[in-house]
Each structure stands twice: as structure tokens, then as C-alpha cells.
Structure 1
Amino acid sequence: MPEPILEVRDLTVHFYTYAGIVKAIEKVSFDVYKGETFALVGETGCGKSVTSRALTQLIESPGRIVGGKVIYHRDDGSTVDLLKLSEEEIREIRGKEIAYIFQDPHASLDPLYTVGYQIAEAMVVHKTVKDWKEGFKRAVDILRQVLIPDPEKRVKNYPHEMSGGMKQRVVIGIGVSNNPRILIADEPTTALDVTVQAQILDLMNELKRKYNTTLILITHNMGVVAEMADRVAVMYAGKIVEVGSVDQIFKNPLHPYTKGLLRAVPNPLGKIEKLEAIPGTVPNLITPPAGCRFHPRCPYASEVCRQKIPELKEIEPGHFVACHLY
């Protein structure tokens, strides 16, 4: 069996709003293995980003992590539950051993500081360079690695002086600056056109190989998943409904929601008059449906689906599904 680097068990996050308690993610469990690319997929609002942020306690008020464990396997062989660490202890890990690439580069970068300062700051704070001078020198190297032309000049640029693709590369540069063991990329190509998207994905693959990083990829783009991922977890309405290798998910999808997602992807080789859509809408997570949360939209729903929550079961080696059909 591959060696796990992260074991997530029954992770639950609620948001306490005026309208009621939003059950954003409910008893989410999965493993991430060392050196793999693990993709978390699902439609907008299913809880992918909340899950990724909860791993290092990045949930802000009115949100609260109400249960679960995130067991992190450190380099020295020891393990630690990231949810039990104090703010000071988790800051030692966040940004150094577990780093993020957030989905909006415009919001991730501070307009008041140069990009060189922001890359150097990540290293100075975590003491992976001895001083600011060395930090700026390394920032130039990092800009070169993320394929930004003329890095000696660009290191002095402010974010507004760069294009969207360049800003996204700077954010990736900040993410990899401390050679993290786990890199969490939250929709890293959402705001980019297709050519820049392909360059960013190639770049992330290259950096992953170079630093032997474990990549957790958050996306709703099934094309990106097919190209990048080793294993996939499919989320729906705050729950994981299927986990498997990328081949298992694409060639033998089991959950009706996974099948619906894949049917909604246009096939450039097929002659399709009309794309298939999943009927209905995403449920309100203040009052989610009883039983399986997908049953109001599922063509195979029966009485048991309306009453009992399905458990994640292993159907074939490494392929899990939460569905009463199995």
C-alpha cells in the first residue's frame, strides 16, 4: 500500500448564519498518499474549498470545525492531528510544509507590496532564508522557475503591473517558495484562458516532479482532472460520494452523480445536439435532504435513499462509493 501523508477522518464544518446553520461539509473522510496528485471535484458550492481550508484550520467566523481529525504524517515519521494544534503551532506548518495556491490571484496578492517582497516574505517568516537579501535573491530564481520573463526586473513590479497569468504564476511561486511537502491548489486555472491554463498545469507538474511534492487539486474541470490527477474524490453537497483512481472514475463511474458529471462534459469527437444536464438544483445546506443528499436529483432513487445515509464502501480495490445501489 502507498504511504499516506494525510488522513482525513469525519471532517465536519458548519457555518452559523442568521438564516440558520449551514452544514457545509459533513463527515468527510479520505486519504492522500505521498507524492500523488489527489483531485477533489464537484460543482460550485459542494464544499471543496471549505474542505481544503479546514485541513489547516483556515476556517473564519462564522464558520467552525465541529468535528473530525486531520492526521498529518511528518518527515521524521511522527504523526500529528492538525486540528488539535494551537494557532502558533499550525502557523509553523501552514505555508512551510503545507502551502496553498488560492483561486483568485488578484485577491491573493497585496497591491501595496512588490511581488518580490511577497515571495521573499514567505521565506523570511518561515526562516528558510537567513535574511531579506537572500530572500529577494531567491525570489528572482523562483520567478525564473515559474517562467516569468526578465525576473530581475519583474521582481520589483507591483501586482497591478502584471497580467492575470503572470499573477497566478507569482502565487504559485509563493506556494512553492518553501518547498512544501503538500501543495493545495484551489482552482488554480479558473481565471485563465486555455493556453495560459495549459502552461500553468505543465508548470505545476514540473514543480511537483522537481520538489517531490504531494499535490491536492481542487477543481470542477474534468479535463484538468483527467490530465493531472492520480486519484479522485467526487463531492456533492458537502459529502464525498465516490473515491477512486482516475481510470476507475472515468472508465467505470459508479455513483449516479459522477456519471451525470461525466455526461455533462462535451466530447469533441462526438456529434452531440444537446449536452446532458443533471436535473434539479443543489440542495440548501441549512436544511439538506434526509438520507442521501443526491436523492431528489437521482434517477435511481428508492425509499431507502430518502431515509438512510449511504456509507462509503469499497466496491473494488481502491474504488469507494456511497450509494445504496451497491
Structure 2
Amino acid sequence: MPEPVLEVRDLTVHFYTYAGIVKAIEGVSFDVYRGETFALVGETGCGKSVTSRALTQLIESPGRIVRGKVIYHREDGSTVDLLKLSEEEIREIRGKEIAYIFQDPHASLDPLYTVGYQIAEAMVVHRTVKDWKEGFRRAVDILRRVLIPDPENRVKNYPHELSGGMKQRVVIGIGVSNDPKILIADEPTTALDVTVQAQILDLMNKLKKEYNTTVILITHNMGVVAEMADRVAVMYAGKIVEIGSVDQIFKNPLHPYTKGLLRAVPNPLAKIERLEAIPGTVPNLITPPKGCRFHPRCPYATEICRKEVPKLKEIEPGHFVACHLY
């Protein structure tokens, strides 16, 4: 079996609001293997971003990590539960060994500082360079690596002087500046047009090979999943309903929700006159449905689906599904 770099077990995050307790993610478990691209997929509001942020305790009030373990396997063979670390200890890992590319590059960059300063700061804070002078020198090299033209001058630019695609490249540059072992990319192509999306995905693939980085990709775009991922976890309403390789998920989807997702995506190889929509809406996570959370929208739901929460079962090697049909 491949060596895991992250083992997530029973991760549960609740948000304590005036309206009630939002059960954002409930009992999420998965493994991420060293050197792979692992995709978390699902519609808006299913808990993908909350899961990715919870891995390094990036959950802000009124959110709280209720329980769970995130076991991080370091390259020296040691392991550490990231959820048991103090804020000071997790800061040493966050941004250095585990880095993020956040969804909106406009919000990720500080408008008051040049992009060169912000890339250099990430290295100075984690002491991977001797001083600011070396940090700025490395920042020029990083801008060149993320394919920004004329990096010697661009390093002096402020975020508002760059296009959306260039800003996203800068954010990726900050992410890879400390040679992280895990890179968490949260919807890295959301605000970009399709041409720039393709360039950004190609760039991430190149950097992954160059830095030998494990990538956790958060997306709702099945085309991006097919292009980038090795394995996929499908999330629905705060729970993982299916895990498998890209081939298993696309060629033999098992969960009714996964099948619905794939039927809603245009397929140029199939003659489909009309795309199918999944009926109903995402449930309210303050009062989620009992049993399987997908059962109100599922065409195959039976009595047991309304009463009992299905557990992830391995149907074929590496292919897991949480569904009473199996």
C-alpha cells in the first residue's frame, strides 16, 4: 500500500450560531497518500472548505472542532496529531510543511504590500531564508517559476496592478515558497476564465512534480478532477459518501449522489440531449435529515435510509461507499 502522509479520522466541526448548531462536517475520515493529488468534490455548502481548513485548525469562531484526529506523517518517520498542537506549534507547520492556496486571490493578498514583500515574508517568518534580502531574491525566482513575465519588475508591483490570473500565480508562489510537503488548493481556478484556468492547472501539475508535493484539491468542477486528481472523495452535506480512484469514480460511480453529479456534467463523448439535475435542495445542517442525509433527494431511498446512517464500506479494492444499497 502507498504510504499515507495524512490520516483523517472522525473529523467533526460545528458552528454555534444564534439560529442553532450548524453540523458542518460530521465524522469525516479519509487518507491522503504521499505524492498524490487527492480531490474533495461536492456542491457548494457540502463542507469541502471547512474540512480543508480544519486540518490545520483554521476554524474561526463561532466554529469549533468538536472531535477527530489528523495524523500527519513527517518525512523523518515521526507522526503528530495536528489537532492536539498548540497555536504556536501549528503555526510552525502551517504555511511551511502544509500550505494553502485560497479560493479568492483578491482576498488572499494584502493590498498595502508589494507581491515580492508578501512572498518574501512567507519565507522570513518560517526562517527558510537568512534575511529579507535573500527573501526578495528568492521571490524573483519564484515569480519566474510560476511563469510571471518580467519577474524582476513584477516583484515591485502591488496586487491591484496585476490581473486575476497573475494574482492567482502569486498566491501559488506564496504557497510553494517554503517547499511544502502538502499543498491544499481550495478552488484555485474559481474566479478565472477557462484559458487561464488551464494554465493554472498545468502550472500546479508542474510544481507538484518539481517540489514532489502532495496536493489536496478542493473543487466542484468534475472536469478539473478528471484532469488533475489521482483519487477522489465525494462529499454531501458534511459527510463523505464515496472514495475511489478517478477511474473508479468516473467509470463505476456507486453512490446515487455521485451518479447524479456525473449526469449533471456535459459529456462530449455521449449523446445526451438533456442534462439531468438532482431534485431537491441541500439540507439545512442545523436540522439535517435522520439516517442518510441524501435520502430526501435519492430515487432509491428505502425505510432503512431514513433511520440509519450508512457507514463507508469497501466494495472493491480502494473503492468505498456509504450507502445502504451496498
TM-score by length of 1: 0.99
Q: Deviations over 1:59-86 (max 9, x none)?
A: 0000000000000001110100000000
Question: C-alpha offsets along residues 76-119 of structure 1, whole Å, 9 cap, x if unaligned?
Answer: 10100000000000000000000000010000000000000000
Name 2:178's counterpart in structure 1.
Answer: 178
Query: Could you say what secondary structure the match of 1:142 adopts?
Result: helix
Shift of 1:43: 0.3
Q: How far has the Cα of 1:308 moved from its partner? A: 0.1
1:274: how far off? 2.0
State the alpha-carbon separation in 2 of the partners of residues 191 and 156 from structure 1. Answer: 24
Structure 1 residue 267, shift from structure 2 partner: 1.5
How far apart are the structure 2 equivalents of 1:86 and 1:2? Answer: 30
Per-residue CA distance 1:231-287 (angstroms, 9 max, x = gap): 000000000000000100000000000000000001224443321000000000000
1: distance between equivalents of 2:168 and 2:211? 19
Q: CA deviation at 1:151?
A: 0.2
> Could you tell me the percent identity over the aligned residues?
92
Displacement after TM superposition at 1:225 (Å): 0.3
CA drift of 1:206 comes to 0.3
Tell me which moved more, 4-13 or 266-275: 266-275
Q: Deviations over 1:170-191 (max 9, x none)?
A: 0000000000000000000000
Distance in 2 of aligned mates of 1:275 and 1:244: 24
Structure 2 counterpart SS, 1:28? strand
Secondary structure of 1:58 counterpart = coil
Is the partner of 1:273 in helix, strand or coil? coil
Using the TM superposition, name which of 1-10 and 259-268 deviates more: 259-268
SS at match of 2:40: strand
Q: RMSD between aligned alpha carbons?
A: 0.6
Separation in structure 2 between the aligned mates of residue 270 and residue 8 of structure 1, nearest angstrom: 37
Residue in 2 that maps onto 1:111: 111
Deviations 1:118-170 (A, max 9, x none): 00000000000000000000000000000000000000000000000000000
> What CA distance in whole angstroms lies between the structure 2 residues aligned with 1:273 and 1:11?
41
2:85 maps to 85
Give the match's secondary structure for 1:291.
coil
CA distances 1:190-219 after superposition (whole Å, capped 9, x unpaired): 001111000000100000000100000000
SS in 2 for 1:31: strand
CA distance in 2, matches of 1:274, 1:233: 27
Residue 134 of structure 1 corresponds to which residue in structure 2? Answer: 134
Following the alignment from structure 1 to structure 2, what is the Cα–Cα distance between the partners of residues 255 and 127? 46
Comparing 273-282 and 93-102, the one that deviates more: 273-282
The answer to whether residue 294 in structure 2 is matched with residue 294 in structure 1 is yes
Aligned equivalents of 2:273, 2:249: Cα separation in 1: 25
Q: Whole-Å Cα distance in 2 between the matches of residues 244 and 155 of structure 1?
A: 41
1:205 aligned counterpart, secondary structure: helix
Q: In the TM superposition, what is the alpha-carbon distance from 1:41 to its structure 2 partner? A: 0.2
Distance of 2:315 and 2:272 partners within structure 1: 32
Structure 1, unaligned runs of 5 or more: none
- Secondary structure of 2:107 counterpart: helix
Partner residue, 1:52: 52
Query: 2: distance between equivalents of 1:203 and 1:133?
Result: 27
Partners of 1:107 and 1:285 lie apart in 2 by: 27
Distance in structure 2 (CA, Å) of the matches to 1:320 and 1:272: 28
**Structure 1 outlier segments of 4+, above 6 Å:** none
- TM-score for both structures, normalised by structure 2: 0.99
User: How many residues matched?
Assistant: 326
